[in-house]
């Protein structure tokens, strides 16, 4: 359907694209890369189905955005969900479940030959996945497109972060997450979902990591934050709620968060950073977290502060059986994040 004939007020249609938008990868300014991967999920799987759930829910949205008039005209296109990686994920997930179960029952991934073999295989394929994401991202970044990742577990963000390091000498990461994700090769998996930010910080172009809504982390991670010499700023959920209960406003807290960010910002949004009522089937839900509108308010404050959102990922959306709520929330987050990114990067509407 030609863009000029598309009516955003009409009934929801697929048009073979996310949100039913009439864009192709050639005329869209924002490209979404779906990554159906949850091989290292340590509690419960399902995030690999996130891209499908978000895509299926997306045409049911209404597209008025109070912060960006006619935002849909910027142009959003989502690549087809890659069957190759979906099938590879299914194959490896069976092995990782066996591996994780044996670890939970006292197995040792350093000495048990079976576990060593599985660990090495998953590490190898995870590295290949990251390289694929990086290559796909660079392909579009080289064409002056804006790129977002639709996960998938949180480990899939690394490919885009590494791609952006080829385009920007310096940028920061805003991580919305219930977890710090600073573990080193959690469970022996080099690219574990619980190690996503540890791996991101290996990229020298990442000068700052600002974490928001964190409320489930280990002592080693707390020490990593403390010893980072200011490279990591963590706004835990407990600290945020304490400030709110004492009378501070969310606006003032957001201003403090945004002040820690450099001009160029990569947004890494794990859906479990929200309250579990908004993502009940996510892999590792934790009580507490942000409301949807609090997250939107924070993102708008970034744009108001003239920061540039240079890329993003939305991860850990996992639909339950006969439950499309998670996909609904995920689709709404993707749409709003895309709009804020386009506005911050001063992209004109088509």
Residues 243, 247: Cα–Cα separation, whole Å: 7
Q: What angle do CA 217, 219, 221 make, to 5 degrees?
A: 60
For 57, phi and psi rounded to 5 degrees?
-80, -25
CB 70 within 8 A of CB 349: yes
pLDDT digits (tens, 9 = 90+) for 142-199: 999 999 999 999 999 999 999 999 999 999 999 999 999 999 999 999 999 999 999 9
Of 101, 97, 71, 82, nearest in space to 37 by CA = 82
Domain-wise residue ranges, the chain: 3-344
CB 343 within 8 A of CB 65: no
Give the strand order in the sheet containing 146-151. 76-78, 30-35, 146-151, 308-315, 264-270, 171-176, 206-214, 232-236
| 203: alpha, beta or left? (left if phi > 0; alpha if psi -120 to 50) | beta
**Structure tokens, 183:** 């573990």
CB 178 within 8 A of CB 136: no
SS3 percent helix, strand, coil of the chain, rounded to 5, is 45, 15, 35
Per DSSP, the residues of 268-309 read: EEEGGGB-GGG-TTSSS--S--B-HHHHHHHHHHHHHTT-EE
Strands 76-78 and 264-270, bridge-based pairing: unpaired
CATH topology of domain 3-344: 3.40.800
Answer whether the bond into residue 32 is a cis peptide, omega within 30°: no
CB 164 within 8 A of CB 171: yes
Residues 109, 290: Cα–Cα separation, whole Å: 36
- pTM higher than the cut 0.85: yes
The strand pairing partners of 246, in sequence order, are none
Please give the chain's pLDDT, 350 residues, in tens: 678 888 888 887 777 899 999 999 999 999 999 999 999 999 899 999 999 999 999 999 999 999 999 999 999 999 999 999 999 999 999 999 999 999 999 988 888 999 999 999 999 999 999 999 999 999 999 999 999 999 999 999 999 999 999 999 999 999 999 999 999 999 999 999 999 999 999 999 999 999 999 999 999 999 999 999 999 999 999 999 999 999 999 999 999 999 999 999 999 999 999 999 999 999 999 999 999 999 999 999 999 999 999 999 999 999 987 778 999 999 999 999 999 999 999 998 76
């Amino acid at each position: 359907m030609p863009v000029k004939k598309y009516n955003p007020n009409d009934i929801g249609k697929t048009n073979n694209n996310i949100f039913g938008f009439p864009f192709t990868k050639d005329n869209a300014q924002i490209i979404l890369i779906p990554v159906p991967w949850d091989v290292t999920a340590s509690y419960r799987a399902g995030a690999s189905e996130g891209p499908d759930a978000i895509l299926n829910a997306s045409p049911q949205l209404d597209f008025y955005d109070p912060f960006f008039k006619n935002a849909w005209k910027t142009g959003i296109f989502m690549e087809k969900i890659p069957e190759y990686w979906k099938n590879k994920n299914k194959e490896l997930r069976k092995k990782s479940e066996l591996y994780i179960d044996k670890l939970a029952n006292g197995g040792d991934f350093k000495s048990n030959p079976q576990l060593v073999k599985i660990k090495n295989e998953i590490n190898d394929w995870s590295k290949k996945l990251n390289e694929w994401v990086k290559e796909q991202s660079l392909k579009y970044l080289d064409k002056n497109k804006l790129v977002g990742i639709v996960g998938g577990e949180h480990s899939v963000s690394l490919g885009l972060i590494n791609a952006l390091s080829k385009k920007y000498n310096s940028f920061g990461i805003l991580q919305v997450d219930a977890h710090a994700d600073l573990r080193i090769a959690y469970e022996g998996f080099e690219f574990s979902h619980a190690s996503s930010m540890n791996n991101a910080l290996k990229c020298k172009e990442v000068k700052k990591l600002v974490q928001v809504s964190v409320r489930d982390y280990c002592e080693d991670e707390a020490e990593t934050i403390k010893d980072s010499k200011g490279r990591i700023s963590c706004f835990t959920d407990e600290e945020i709620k304490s400030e709110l209960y004492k009378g501070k406003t969310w606006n003032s807290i957001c201003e403090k968060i945004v002040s820690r960010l450099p001009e160029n910002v990569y947004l890494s949004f794990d859906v479990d950073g929200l309250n579990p009522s908004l993502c009940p089937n996510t892999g590792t839900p934790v009580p507490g977290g942000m409301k949807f509108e609090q997250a939107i308010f924070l993102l708008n404050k970034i744009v108001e502060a003239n920061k540039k959102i240079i890329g993003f990922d939305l991860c850990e959306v996992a639909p339950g059986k006969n439950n499309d709520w998670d996909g609904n929330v995920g689709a709404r987050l993707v749409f709003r994040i895309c709009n804020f990114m386009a506005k911050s990067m001063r992209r004109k509407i088509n």
